[in-house]
Structure 1
Amino acid sequence: MAPGVFHFSRLDPLEDSFFRISKWILGLLQCWPLDRLNRITKIKLVLHLTILLTAALGEIRSSWLLRKSLLEAIDALSPGVTKLVTWIKLVCFLIYRKDLELILKSLLEHCKTDTKDSRKNYLIRKISYFNNMCCSVLYINAITTSVSFGFKPIVVWAYQYFVNEKRNTWVDLPYRAALPYEDMTEMNKPMYTFMYCFLAYSGLVTTFAVSGTDGTFLCFCMYISVAYQCLQEDFKSTFKVHAANDPKRSKILYNDLSALIRRQQKIIEIFNSFNRVYTFMIFIHFVSASILLALLSINL
């Protein structure tokens, strides 16, 4: 399914291009609002949330234990904060699942109505293609970062083992975490291997969650923007048709303007619902970004 998801163009129908990448990404995490939740998907969802939260708390705990060494503490804290914020975003998606479902359905129906006009259809297809391109770039960057974190310790260990002939070294964990010990090498090798896979998978879940939730936010903003552009086109065409000062047309003009105002109110309702759902997520996103930038500045 994954390769086909990234085969998109401006000619795709709206039903296929609407939130295409975000829908696929969040669908893998069982967090897409329009997907049905059954017993199996609920178990997978709880598992992903548990892995993410456990890894985040372990990394934050590790940063506290390493607080005497500032740079090492920052290295442990930064991914931990990212995972914790990502976990909060996924929880918000669950809390507002029904609201998001209604917003998505309303927005889709609104855009489908606009596609009946060639000019507005062009605008919507253009935005859909742009959204999918941006979400693809976001996903590729995120997955590349996750894979780099996951395989870097193995590459470093292999270099030390085969080139420098250091036979007794451990493979560093992909993320600094204290789960359950401050020094993870206190565990036996099978448990250490399990912990390595656990932390690497938590990074993968973070990758999908970040690109999915942030990509969904981007798509919402762009589709609401194009909805207003389409409404602007409607007003232009309406006034162009009724430009002549003909009293007989006043009733028709009144009806057309009333319909446009109702469409505008619908867009405002969608925007208000979107604003209510995303306000907290935007807040924690900017707070976490500020913290990470501050930590990065200290690290530099």
Structure 2
Amino acid sequence: MWPRFLTRSFPMNRHYFLIPKFALTLIGFYPEQEKSWPVRAWSFFNFFILAYGCYAEAAYGILQIPNNIVLALDALCPVASSILSLLKMSSIWYYRDELKFLIQRVRKLTEQQQSDRKLEYKRRCYTLATRLTFFLLCCGFCTSTSYSVRHLLDNMLRRAHGLDWIYETPFKMIFPEPLLRLPLYPLIYALVHWHGYITVACFVGADGFFLGFCLYLSVLLNSLRDDVVDLLAVKSIKTKSTAWKDERIVRKLERLVDRHNEIAVLTERLSGVMVEITLGHFVTSSLIIGSSVVDMLLFSGAGIIVYLVYTCAVVMEVFLYCVGGTFITEACLDLARSTFASQWYYHSVRVQKMTLLMIARSQRVLIVKVPFFSPSLETLTSILRFTGSLIALATSVIR
């Protein structure tokens, strides 16, 4: 049975960025969160833990490359996600004011859409955003937890066979020797385990922001489409148009054009906020997915489960970006098609010119601009195809 917040009956105003808000508030980085001194100290602590974890994992993996390629991959595979999460954390902090403005402005615009059809658009997109980001959160949580579970199971089996406990962290990291001995070892173990959850919170928050904004902007575009079609509808072609009616339609159409322009501006501002995150994600996605699949092929037992869950989480991340880009692209094209299919040609020349201008602008698809990439399901197919080539190359070299 679904939790209530994943159902369509859950209040829509509480659906708004529900999972990203939970994840980023947990580590003190949500843009609308009050920046008190305890919150600032907590966010700095989490940033330090994540940053040191990235260094320790990368150093361990690089040092193990000449000695044991399997151990090296076991460290370098998760560190790629950790470094990307550090980038996301830094970007969210740097653009916190801009993100806060976008969150509040898009919320205000979507709350203005109150017709039955528009409420159905909102319910569908809000619920979809919550469900997808919650699934990503579950995948990330299971991945981080599985690393600790794998380490505990390995040591329990060693103890069952009369061997000594291996004092190392669940994620392969370099630490000074005194920190990996009793009585400090449990504290270091807990901090490393929390490092994994910080990584999860960062990518759930950033990826959830991207998906949420795309879906919420698509709601605004679909609502705009309905308003344009309803405004240009003609009940009877025999009814003569008057100057007063034309002027009223022109004024309403001007407001709709202004709404379309504002949506375009919001999309452009979103591009400026998310460009580093999205570019970094698409550049590293094939490498991360490929290395996790290779690790899954090299390991046995619990290691297979760990990297199977990890692969699902990384693929889900890329999927969120691609499905978000597809939603907003299709909403733009549907606005152009529906406006052209409306009864705009029954109106005055002035109304026709304004309608054609809107059609032309709608055909210039709004996308979150990323250098070299356009988030869409076609891009996801290309990434997976290239990842397959990397996996085949890596397995042939290792064997």
Equivalent position amino acid for 2:145 in 1 = V
Say if 2:264 is the partner of 1:268. Answer: yes
Equivalent position amino acid for 1:193 in 2 = P
Please report how far the alpha carbon of residue 186 of structure 1 lies from its aligned counterpart in structure 2 after TM superposition. 8.4
Say if 2:257 is the partner of 1:246. Answer: no
Equivalent position amino acid for 1:80 in 2 = V
Please report how far the alpha carbon of residue 187 of structure 1 lies from its aligned counterpart in structure 2 after TM superposition. 4.1
In structure 2, do the counterparts of structure 1 residues 229 and 294 end up closer, same or farther at CA, with 3 Å as the change threshold? same
In structure 2, do the counterparts of structure 1 residues 43 and 236 end up closer, same or farther at CA, with 3 Å as the change threshold? same
Structure 1 gap ranges (5+)? none
Distance 2:126 2:271 in 1: 21
In structure 2, do the counterparts of structure 1 residues 243 and 288 end up closer, same or farther at CA, with 3 Å as the change threshold? farther
Distance 2:107 2:62 in 1: 46
Could you say which residue in structure 2 is the equivalent of 1:237? 230
Say if 2:152 is the partner of 1:154. Answer: yes
Please report how far the alpha carbon of residue 172 of structure 1 lies from its aligned counterpart in structure 2 after TM superposition. 4.2
* CA offset digits 1:125-146 (Å, max 9, x no partner): 1110111111111111111111
Equivalent position amino acid for 2:137 in 1 = Y
Match of 2:169 among 173, 176, 187: 173
Could you say which residue in structure 1 is the equivalent of 2:22? 24
Please report how far the alpha carbon of residue 197 of structure 1 lies from its aligned counterpart in structure 2 after TM superposition. 1.7
**Which is bigger in relative contact order (C-alpha 8 A, separation at least 6)?**
1
Distance 1:171 1:246 in 2: 84
Could you say which residue in structure 1 is the equivalent of 2:182? 189
> Aligned ranges for residues 1-300 of structure 1 at < 5 Å?
7-68=5-66, 69-114=68-113, 116-162=114-160, 164-166=161-163, 168-180=164-176, 187-240=180-233, 244=237, 245-247=240-242, 248-295=244-291, 296=294, 297=391, 298=394
In structure 2, do the counterparts of structure 1 residues 224 and 60 end up closer, same or farther at CA, with 3 Å as the change threshold? same
Distance 1:186 1:96 in 2: 36
Is contact 2:4–2:10 with CA below 8 Å preserved after alignment? no
The percent identity for this pair of structures is 20
Q: SS state of the match for residue 189, structure 1?
A: coil
Is contact 1:48–1:205 with CA below 8 Å preserved after alignment? yes
In structure 2, do the counterparts of structure 1 residues 241 and 189 end up closer, same or farther at CA, with 3 Å as the change threshold? farther
Is contact 2:74–2:172 with CA below 8 Å preserved after alignment? yes
Distance 2:151 2:81 in 1: 20
Equivalent position amino acid for 1:287 in 2 = V
Could you say which residue in structure 1 is the equivalent of 2:326? none
* CA offset digits 1:94-115 (Å, max 9, x no partner): 100000011111100110011x
* CA offset digits 1:14-46 (Å, max 9, x no partner): 321111111111111111111111100000000
Q: SS state of the match for residue 279, structure 1?
A: helix
Compute the TM-score of the two structures, normalised by the length of structure 2. 0.69
Please report how far the alpha carbon of residue 48 of structure 1 lies from its aligned counterpart in structure 2 after TM superposition. 0.4
Is contact 1:6–1:21 with CA below 8 Å preserved after alignment? no
Between 17-26 and 87-96, the greater mean CA deviation after superposition = 17-26
Q: SS state of the match for residue 233, structure 2?
A: helix
Distance 2:78 2:4 in 1: 28
Distance 1:36 1:173 in 2: 34
Please report how far the alpha carbon of residue 70 of structure 1 lies from its aligned counterpart in structure 2 after TM superposition. 2.3
Distance 1:186 1:38 in 2: 32
Equivalent position amino acid for 1:71 in 2 = V
Equivalent position amino acid for 1:165 in 2 = G
* CA offset digits 1:163-212 (Å, max 9, x no partner): x232x2315421111123xxx58842223333222211101111121212
Between 244-253 and 289-298, the greater mean CA deviation after superposition = 289-298
- How many pairs align? 291
